[in-house]
């Protein structure tokens, strides 16, 4: 039987990359691609039923009410998740502006401190830069996360207004 399976299934479909041994437990094969990508001889293998795209209406079972409800729940959940993501996108210009402003301030403060730090090695200066960058990131992380969450819930305008007011975000930084 394995010889028949190997000869029938070897290269049975265009994308077949699995070892033939995996097909020992195959009970059915679906030939639904156009052009057909499963050899017709697969249907001759003992214990294997081959279905073509034309036969699907005949062999497909109607979903139960429970299956329909579960599928609808999945679709509704995914639509809600997508809409939340879409609403989050409205805060992106302000978030970018906030990070730009913070980076500008960080660099200005490092430049102001530079004359007092003239004896530092390159490694020490790099450490100070990394430290200042990490502080900025940690300080902004939670406000940004909360703003995105509010936007996802539909409270984006409120959180955007607060972000603009608290950090005095300028219009030119939001572009």
Predicted confidence (pLDDT) per residue in 105-119, tens digit: 999 999 999 889 888
Mean pLDDT, residues 87-116 = 92
List alpha helices for the chain, DSSP H. 2-9, 56-59, 65-88, 92-113, 122-153, 156-167
Highest mean pLDDT, choosing among 12-16, 80-84, 103-107, 144-148: 103-107
Q: What is the pTM of this model?
A: 0.56
The half-sphere exposure of 60 on its side-chain side, counting CA atoms within 13 A, is: 10
**Computed over its alpha carbons, how large is the radius of gyration of the chain?**
30
- How many percent of the chain have pLDDT more than 70? 75
Query: Using H for helix, E for strand and C for coil, what is the string for 80-127?
Result: HHHHHHHHHHHHHHHHHHHHHHHHHHHHHHHHHHHHHHCCCCHHHHHH
Own/partner long-range contacts of 101-107 (Cβ < 8 Å, ≥24 apart): 101/167, 101/169, 101/170, 101/173, 102/136, 102/139, 102/140, 103/136, 106/132, 106/133, 106/136
- 3-state class of 29 per DSSP? strand
Of 106 and 156, the structure prediction assigns the larger pLDDT to 106
In sequence order, the β-bridge partners of residue 30 are 51
CA distances from 127 to 60, 119, 132, 136, 140 (A): 64, 14, 9, 14, 20
Predicted confidence (pLDDT) per residue in 31-54, tens digit: 566 666 777 787 788 877 777 777
> Do residues 15 and 37 make contact, with C-beta atoms less than 8 angstroms apart?
yes
């Amino acid at each position: 039987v394995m010889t028949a399976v190997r000869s029938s299934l070897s290269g049975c479909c265009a994308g077949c990359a699995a070892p033939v041994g995996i097909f020992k437990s195959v009970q059915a094969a679906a030939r639904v691609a156009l052009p057909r990508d499963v050899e017709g001889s697969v249907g001759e293998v003992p214990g294997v039923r081959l279905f073509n795209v034309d036969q699907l209406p005949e062999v497909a079972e109607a979903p139960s009410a429970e299956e329909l409800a579960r599928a609808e729940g999945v679709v509704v959940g995914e639509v809600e998740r997508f809409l939340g993501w879409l609403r989050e996108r409205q805060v992106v210009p302000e978030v970018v502006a906030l990070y730009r402003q913070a980076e500008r301030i960080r660099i200005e403060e490092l430049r102001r401190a530079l004359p007092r730090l003239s004896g530092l090695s390159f490694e020490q200066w790099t450490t100070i830069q990394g430290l200042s960058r990490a502080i900025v990131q940690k300080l902004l992380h939670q406000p940004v996360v909360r703003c995105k969450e509010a936007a996802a819930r539909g409270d984006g305008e409120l959180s955007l207004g607060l972000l603009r007011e608290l950090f005095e975000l300028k219009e030119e930084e939001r572009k």
